Amino acid sequence: MVRSLYLALTMLLLGLLTTQLRADTFKLTNGQTVTGEILPTTANDQGVQVKIGEGDYQRVPWTSFAQEDLRNFAKNQRMEPFVEPFIEISQEEKIKKTEVNIKEPPRLERPPRQSLLGAMASSTLGIIVLLVLYAANVYAAYEVALFRAQPPGMVCGLAAIPFLGLLSPIVFLSLPTRMQKTAAEIREEVAAAQSAAEPIAAPAAGTADELNPMRGQAEHPAGLKLAQTEAGHGKPSVPETVTYQRGQFTFNRRFIETKFPGFFSVVRRDADKDMVLLIKTSRGEYSGQRISRIAANDMHLEIQRSGATEEILIPFQEIQQIQLRHKDA
């Protein structure tokens, strides 16, 4: 019996000691202190109960606890949702929480500074662009050579020179169009050169012709002289050639239809049946008697070639000169 009493007292003392060990002292904001055990299961929005003694409990609002105690309460998972709204956050903590950590994205390294041509030549795409520009410059020179009637080989060759070739199309486009000479003009120049080169033979004084005035009359009867004179006067007259030069006239559809209406019909009238159109272009010279078709930018001219009729397409922009002439001129 005495032994059981000692055991009960021992257990009571141990309970009291344990309670004292688990009890904490909390300093409230109103200056008072509370000593007891916090019961996390009783926590709610209004506060938490503190066991201050055996069977004695006290509910303390969250606003009464110091900030240090509230931070300790927040470490408990059960109490954290209720305590967190009452914890005051310092300016440093606000900055730390709201701090945005900006991460720099990976960026490509800038290539070393160099000239435009050097930069383009350092990549495959740049080399392709340079080759396309080079080919376009040579082709532009070819078109300029055709438009200005210049030798395409010379103009394209100059355009193929690196760096300096950019000026070739500009220079030749600024030059006037070189007109090609026709076969008749070449024959006239050759005949004039030959006649200028041949010396004029003067009759020798005291020859038999001078001494015998009757000899000329015997060799050239009067009848023959009259026949030659009459034949010369009987030669039919040829209409004058009318020339239309680029620069003085604008060659387009309206001009062709207005100036040469008789060349569109299949059957030519008497006044125009012997007239022909001689068209000089940058590609050559064409002579025809009928315009078979005409459009806004070009026309088709019927020409005779090897005993057959053929249509030639002539763009208006390539026409340098148009001559309306007689077929025997």
At position 111, the amino acid (one-letter code) is P
Structure tokens at 104: 């720099």
Instruction: Indicate the average pLDDT of the chain.
Output: 78
Q: What is the dihedral of CA 106, 110, 111, 112, to 10 degrees?
A: -140
* CA–CA gap between residue 287 and residue 8 (Å, rounded): 143
- 180 vs 220, more confident: 180
Question: Vertex 179, ends 182 and 149: CA angle to 5°?
Answer: 115
**263-281: per-residue pLDDT in tens?**
888 777 766 778 888 999 9
**38-66: per-residue pLDDT in tens?**
888 888 888 888 888 888 888 888 888 88
**4-26: per-residue pLDDT in tens?**
666 666 665 555 444 443 567 88
* CA–CA gap between residue 37 and residue 112 (Å, rounded): 72
Tell me what percent of the residues of the chain surpass a pLDDT of 70: 77
* CA–CA gap between residue 52 and residue 33 (Å, rounded): 11
At position 128, the amino acid (one-letter code) is I
Model pTM?
0.33
